[in-house]
A and B are shown apart, each in its own frame.
Chain A
Amino acid sequence: MLQFIDTVGEAVAGIRDGSTVMIGGFGNAGQPFELIDALLDSGATDLTVVNNNAGQGDQGLALLIKEGRVRKMICSFPRQSDSWHFDEKYRAGKIELELVPQGNLAERIRAAGAGIGGFFTPTGYGTMLAEGKETRFLDGKWQVFETPIHADVALIKALTADRKGNLVYRKTARNFGPIMAAAAKHTIVQVSEIVPTGALDPENIVTPGIYVNSIVRVAGTPAERAA
């Protein structure tokens, strides 16, 4: 059942050690910093984290990695100029990396939420990221079999929720939010604003409330938090 929760700490309290956690965001845009900070404070550890990146700078996901809470990263682009916490753990052999082409990452997440058991895609064919995977010649090209990525929990950020849990995002901060919301067993969303049921135009809703379990309001505009 949909719950409106007062604090980010209560929102993430149920996340257990060893969970697979999807975290929305592409770089800092759409990254739910307050929920990640709360997850760090909760002490949950041995996590598998699904995100496009592996944290940047000294905030959000980067801190979760720094503190040794992440056992494995599933992502497309871990190495950045400011991914020093990931780099250090990776070089020390203290974090496992599953590197996935970005579109395959997105489609594998989408597949999980859509109940698809796997799919063939041309992306990655003939490269080291497809080694050991089943291939078939389909629709005029060689394609690689990819499997869905499920998660216990998704932490995402949206702009506005209504009381039914319907979500609207802001600009390119939408990125992984809608597909992660569908792929996780339990989806926790931080929003800037909660509006009454009926205040959002049904034609413009991006994520229907059926995919959402917990909503917590975090003050400040998403752009301010992401800057």
Chain B
Amino acid sequence: MSTEISIQRSVKPLGKDELAALVARDIAPGSFVNLGIGQPTLVSNYLTEEQNITLHTENGMLGMGPEAVGEQIDGDLINAGKIPVTELPGASYFHHADSFAIMRGGHLDICVLGAFQVSATGDLANWHTGAPDAIPAVGGAMDLATGAKDVFVMMTLLTRDGTSKLVEACTYPLTGVGCVTRVYTDKAVFLIGPDGVTVRETFGITLEELQQLVPVPLKATSAVGV
């Protein structure tokens, strides 16, 4: 399934599906990609056949297909979110140590993750709120954050109470240090590099308005109108 969404002309904040379509469009043809649980999973709906993307699921498979329905459902064929999925022609299965060697060894091109917070230097917090009564569960989050060549984050820019999730330094417990390279939000796309945070695109907001929301110095690429 492929949906064309005109990002350049977007004059309002992006919805989840529009954001997923934008991430999908930015994935280079032939890439090996891991999509995290939750919002990142939506990206798979917008990958085209021509892109020839291979999806990895960390419980032990390359060549994962769409979610299984009806008679396709097989308890032995699930994704990292424990949702029944399908296999595509050319799929392969491997054990857990091999699956995480694929990540840690730098073989995955991109992983797309959700986040509580991302810092100006690319630190990621997405596994634990740090609340004293919370039962911690990390799964593969730290491995994914550390292993892929590029780590894209998808999130709303603001929390429900209007605080920026793009921060100077994370206050939630870290998942990985300096690992995030891009942040896709409903209001803008941010590139994180050694020279700081650059705004690539904005959606229904001016750079000046964006800077008032985000407590991190922002630079703009030439494509962003001021």
Q: How far is the CA of A133 from the CA of B125 in the complex (A)?
A: 20
Question: Is there an interface contact between B76 and A30, defined as CB atoms closer than 8 Å?
Answer: yes
Cβ contact within 8 Å between A171 and B87: yes
Q: Does B219 contact A (CB under 8 A)?
A: no
CA distance A79 to B136 in the complex (A): 7
Q: Mark B83-104, 1 if CB is under 8 A from A, else 0.
A: 0000100000111110111011
A91: B residues at CB distance < 8 A = 133, 135
> Which secondary structure dominates chain A's binding surface?
mixed
Question: Which B residues lie within 8 Å of A7 (CB)?
Answer: none
- Min CB gap A6→B, angstroms: 25
- Interface residue? B181 (CB, 8 A): no
Q: Would you mind naming 21 contact pairs between A and B with Cβ atoms under 8 Å apart? A: A28-B75, A76-B137, A80-B137, A86-B135, A91-B133, A103-B147, A105-B96, A106-B100, A123-B146, A126-B176, A126-B177, A128-B128, A171-B93, A172-B78, A173-B76, A174-B95, A177-B95, A179-B97, A222-B76, A223-B75, A226-B76
Inside 8 A of A174's CB, which chain B residues have their CB? 60, 93-95
**Number of A positions contacting B (CB below 8 A):** 55
Interface residues of B in 140-172 (CB under 8 A from A): 140-143, 146-147
A27 vs B77: C-alpha distance when bound (angstroms): 11
Interface centre among B57, B142, B146 (most CB of A within 10 A): B142
Q: Which interface residue of B79, B96, B176 has the most chain A CB atoms within 10 A?
A: B96
Q: Which 6 pairs show the lowest CB-CB distances between chains A and B?
A: A103-B100, A226-B75, A103-B143, A126-B177, A106-B96, A110-B97
Contact residues on B (Cβ < 8 Å of other chain), bracket: 35 or more
**What separation, in Å, do the CA atoms of A106 and B100 have in the docked complex?**
8
Interface of chain B, main secondary structure: loop
CA distance A105 to B104 in the complex (A): 13
Q: For the complex, is A19 an interface residue (Cβ under 8 Å from B)?
A: no
* A84-127 vs B, Cβ < 8 Å mask (1 yes, 0 no): 00110011000001011111111101100000000001111111
Q: Is B18 an interface residue (CB 8 A)?
A: no
Residue of B nearest to A90 (CB): B135
Q: What chain B residues lie within 8 Å of A4 (beta carbons)?
A: none
> How far, in whole Å, are A175 and B57 apart by their CA atoms in the complex?
11
With a cutoff of 8 Å between Cβ atoms, the chain B residues found around residue A29 in the complex are: 59, 75-78, 82
Report the Cα distance A222→B77, complex, angstroms: 11
Tell me how far the C-beta of B40 lies from the nearest C-beta in chain A, rounded to whole angstroms. 17
Q: Mark A166-194, 1 if CB is under 8 A from B, else 0.
A: 00011111111111000000000000000
